[in-house]
Structure 1
Amino acid sequence: MSKNTKRIVMFLAVTFGLMYLSHGLIALLLETTAMELEDFPLNILGIIGGGSPAFAALFMVYKMYSEEERKNYWNRAYLYKAHWFWWMVALLSPLVIGLGANLIYHGGWWNPDIQWSHIAAFPLTFGAMIFAGGAEELGWRGILQNSISKKVHPVVTGILIGIIWAIWHGPLFLIDVFAHYNYAFSTYFLFAIVYSLLLTLLVYKTRSILLAVLMHAGINAFGNLGFGIPMEVHEGVLVFLALLFIGFASALHFAEKSNIPVNCRPGDRGRSAIKVNMHSPKE
């Protein structure tokens, strides 16, 4: 087994182990005691499970990475220098996608019942979601995408991570105190793959784990604001997600095929572009 394969296996083992063990304990304690989900012990277990991709990433970076690899990882985790277009994708695409899905679901404009207090609190909600969701990308993009993309095409990478991401959420669909319990898994499964492809494209083009963290936080924050994709079996929403799948997969395919340098503005060529392209995600 190669070093890269060992890293993939170790990451998945720690990530799934923490998630399924912690939420298995949550289910057991809810069933056998008077505890509720808001109680401190269950909160801690929820944090352990929900943060397992980040915890697995930190474990691997400090136990399995060389000093140079560790430095490169943290450089990417804090990398904020990217073309404005990719910042727009990271910060606004969850809102645009959620808006489109809801317009289709409701058959036109609808009232998401947003109050001024919700808007005022949005920055705080977004900040909280960096830790309650966004930090997962330290693992999904920082570790798993970086490792899988060395073996397969970026489109396959995005699809595989999306499938893994959806299955990792499995316990939330089995415990009735979580919102996922009422979700249609088929819709959620396609949702996870679609967003995984977009996140994969974002990181492929920018190398920035930071932007992936912010985009993931945006998915959760805008969802809380009323712009989440409706998690029901709805023909129009499923078609919408299927079209996004085709669009994002095609964009990722042509990005890889053209191998356009990351962070390259239109018209930029020459030495600077070549220098940037030397640090492609396939390293």
Structure 2
Amino acid sequence: MKKIILFIFFVLFLAFIYWLLFPFIVSENNSTGEEISGLLRGYTPTFAALLTILFTTKRKGFKDYWHNIMRFKASIRSYLAVFLIPLFINVVVVIVTSQFIDSSISFIELNYPKFLAIYFIFIFLDGPLGEELGWRGFLLPEVLSKFSPLVSSLIIGLVMFFWHIIIFDADGPELNSSFIVKYLISILGISVIFTFFYLRFSKFPIIAVLLHTSINYFIFFRNSLIPEMKETPVDNITYVVTIVLIAMICLILLKNHNLKNN
């Protein structure tokens, strides 16, 4: 339990430090500052994991953590799922939202090789690698050793929510009540989905990194391909509802899996 408490303290403390330093890191027309801030922001969960190890298990903990994050051998269906499920979510969003747009959808012409390359840039610069080495690479195994999959998902989801709110208050979207409620619901649902992937597909952090990347990437791709969809609230509501439904299915599958193993 000590590791869980320490990690939560460190990750929120580092987010707060980022919040304090952000105005000094990023100035007007300073692209270098924005890149630095992005790396500091995205890797605070990893830094929190390392600090927690330093104050608890130390040398042995670092060795175990390194061996864990360097495991890549997962099943083909694991790698397929991290692409297909986020793609499915966004296809549903496009289909549903298109019914509420007065005019016909117009697809922006994109440089597809460039957009494919952006996926791999997302891994390192948009948060997935730095975040998931903390959230699922360190925190999830710890909370699962103490709590059920549902409670573990809710704990991590809440920590991620408060962490993101601090970050968003520094450099993100406007924090109105509508955004906060929808974001809380979606991030709790996403946390359940990640726990399902961890328990049913692969306990290797690389799967969480790729799933996180795919979720961010396909939202970015959808918004770039069909920008007018962002003008309607249906877009975001459909996304949240789809996440919740998939999370509920994941919980049912996890419960059935546990019953079969008992």
- 2:71 is equivalent to residue 113 of structure 1: no
Asked if the contact 1:20–1:49 (Cα under 8 Å) also holds between the matched residues in 2, the reply is no
- 2:78 is equivalent to residue 86 of structure 1: yes
- 2:119 is equivalent to residue 126 of structure 1: yes
- 2:183 is equivalent to residue 152 of structure 1: no
2:93 and 2:31 map into 1 onto residues whose CA distance is 35
2:116 and 2:198 map into 1 onto residues whose CA distance is 24
SS of the equivalent of 2:193 reads helix
Choose between structure 1 and 2: higher helix proportion: 2
Q: 2:186 aligns with which of 180, 183, 191?
A: 191
The amino acid of 1:24's aligned partner reads L
1:215–1:11: structure 2 CA closer, same or farther, 3 Å change rule? same
Superimposed CA distance per residue, residues 160-179 of structure 1 (whole angstroms, 9 cap, x where no aligned partner) = 2112212211034434x534
2:13 and 2:29 map into 1 onto residues whose CA distance is 20
TM-superposed CA distance for 1:141, in Å, is: 0.6
Superimposed CA distance per residue, residues 216-241 of structure 1 (whole angstroms, 9 cap, x where no aligned partner) = 11111112111699794765554433
Residue identity over aligned pairs, in percent, reads 24
More deviation, 151-160/164-173: 164-173
TM-superposed CA distance for 1:200, in Å, is: 1.0
The amino acid of 1:130's aligned partner reads I
1:37 and 1:48 map into 2 onto residues whose CA distance is 19
TM-superposed CA distance for 1:29, in Å, is: 4.4
More deviation, 135-144/156-165: 156-165
Superimposed CA distance per residue, residues 226-262 of structure 1 (whole angstroms, 9 cap, x where no aligned partner) = 16997947655544333223112222223333349xx
Asked if the contact 2:143–2:152 (Cα under 8 Å) also holds between the matched residues in 1, the reply is yes
2:93 and 2:14 map into 1 onto residues whose CA distance is 33
Residue ranges of structure 1 left out of the alignment (5+ in a row):
261-283
TM-score normalized with structure 1 length: 0.75
Backbone CA RMSD of aligned residues:
3.2
The amino acid of 1:113's aligned partner reads F
1:154 and 1:130 map into 2 onto residues whose CA distance is 26
Asked if the contact 1:155–1:253 (Cα under 8 Å) also holds between the matched residues in 2, the reply is no
Q: 1:171 aligns with which of 153, 166, 171?
A: 166
The amino acid of 1:20's aligned partner reads F
1:168–1:41: structure 2 CA closer, same or farther, 3 Å change rule? same
The amino acid of 2:142's aligned partner reads S
